[in-house]
């Protein structure tokens, strides 16, 4: 089957088009013929080798972390799906590879595709949808009447998280360029802060939750907008000891993560707020709940561009510019 593959880690490495063997179908797997795949900044980070200590993939590696397609075959123990079902999924972290024609993944990572969406629209949802859900619903426990700041609102995670937070009944603030302010308002943002002109930490205060997608200085300054007891949830790092426990990290990795996150955890404790790093996981049940919200019209996909399969390298390069509004998708079939 045709696929786009990483042969060696490195920022300057290009992914190549090549032929790869069909995936092996385990008894609790579904084999999916992929029609479309989302492109994410995570793909570039994996290619660069940023996660090679946490996720020791075997090279050559097929890139890609979310998909929509049709079930082709099912394993002997699969009960929820049958051939012909239209589905969408974020593969588990140890079995990624959606820039290709077929993938085999556990049935518990898969959900039926929302009927209202095309394959390209559905492929834009899983990774960003699960990230927003696990940050705001699961970890942030965001409730009606609370206030949330979502950084980089025009990105893939941001465009989804704004809509989800609004559905939950929160007051939503976001950072974005002035050019994207109109889109942010249409998605449900109550406050749009022009990150090029204004300091968000001087505009909002006493917030319950911050979802940070940037890391670095933005992460540290986000502590200043939280009320005592508030929650700062980061998806750009630094990783914390809880992640080390979650992935069963070695002693060396546990020590490294504790060291890397020491400064932000200490600063958070000083302000009586909680910092946690979110490394999103695959979850078919949560995708099912997200599908229900989409069918009800509470959330809609935001897609910047759709590239043909043969232009996967160009799609990845476009995402790396950081200028995409919402998601970038590859049409495979």
Residue 326 burial (CB count, 10 A):
22
Q: How many CA atoms lie within 13 A of 75 on its CB side?
A: 17
Neighbours of 229 (CB within 10 A): 9
Q: Which residues of the chain have pLDDT under 70?
A: none
Q: Over the stretch 42-74, which tens digit does the pLDDT of each residue have?
A: 999 999 998 888 888 999 999 999 999 999 999
Other CB atoms closer than 10 Å to residue 286's CB: what's the count? 19
Q: What confidence tens digit (pLDDT) does each residue in 120-177 have?
A: 999 999 999 999 999 999 999 999 999 999 999 999 999 999 999 999 999 999 999 9
pLDDT for position 304: 98
- The answer to whether the pTM exceeds 0.95 is yes
CA 61 to chain centre: 19
Domains recognised in the chain with CATH numbers:
2-125+301-331 (3.90.180.10), 127-277 (3.40.50.720)
């Amino acid at each position: 089957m045709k696929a786009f593959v990483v042969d060696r880690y490195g920022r300057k490495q290009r992914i190549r088009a090549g032929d790869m063997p069909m995936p092996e179908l385990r008894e609790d797997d579904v084999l999916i013929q992929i029609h479309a795949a989302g492109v994410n900044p995570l793909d570039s980070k994996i290619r660069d080798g940023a996660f090679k200590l946490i996720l020791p993939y075997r090279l050559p590696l097929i890139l890609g972390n979310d998909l929509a397609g049709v079930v082709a075959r099912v394993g002997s123990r699969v009960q929820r799906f049958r051939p012909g079902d239209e589905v969408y999924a974020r593969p588990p972290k140890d079995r990624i590879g959606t820039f290709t024609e077929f993938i085999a993944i556990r049935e518990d990572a898969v959900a039926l595709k929302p009927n209202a969406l095309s394959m390209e629209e559905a492929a834009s949802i899983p990774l960003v949808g699960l990230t927003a859900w696990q940050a705001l619903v699961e970890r942030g426990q965001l409730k009606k009447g609370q206030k949330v700041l979502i950084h980089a609102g025009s990105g893939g995670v941001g465009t989804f998280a704004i809509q989800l937070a609004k559905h939950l009944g929160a007051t939503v603030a976001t950072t974005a360029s002035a050019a994207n302010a109109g889109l942010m308002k249409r998605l449900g943002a109550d406050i749009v802060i022009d990150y090029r002109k204004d300091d968000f930490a001087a505009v909002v205060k006493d917030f319950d939750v911050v979802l940070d997608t940037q890391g670095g200085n933005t992460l540290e300054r986000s502590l200043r907008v939280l009320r005592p007891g508030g929650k700062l949830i980061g998806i750009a790092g630094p990783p914390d000891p809880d992640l080390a426990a979650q992935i069963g990290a070695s002693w060396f990795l546990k020590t490294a993560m504790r060291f890397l996150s020491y400064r932000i955890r200490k600063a958070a404790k000083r302000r009586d707020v909680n910092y946690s790093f979110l490394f999103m996981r695959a979850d078919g049940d949560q995708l099912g709940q997200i599908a229900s919200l989409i069918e009800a019209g509470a959330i809609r996909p935001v897609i910047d561009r759709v590239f043909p399969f043969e232009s996967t390298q160009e799609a990845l390069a476009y995402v790396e510019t950081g200028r995409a509004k919402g998601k970038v998708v590859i049409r495979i079939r």
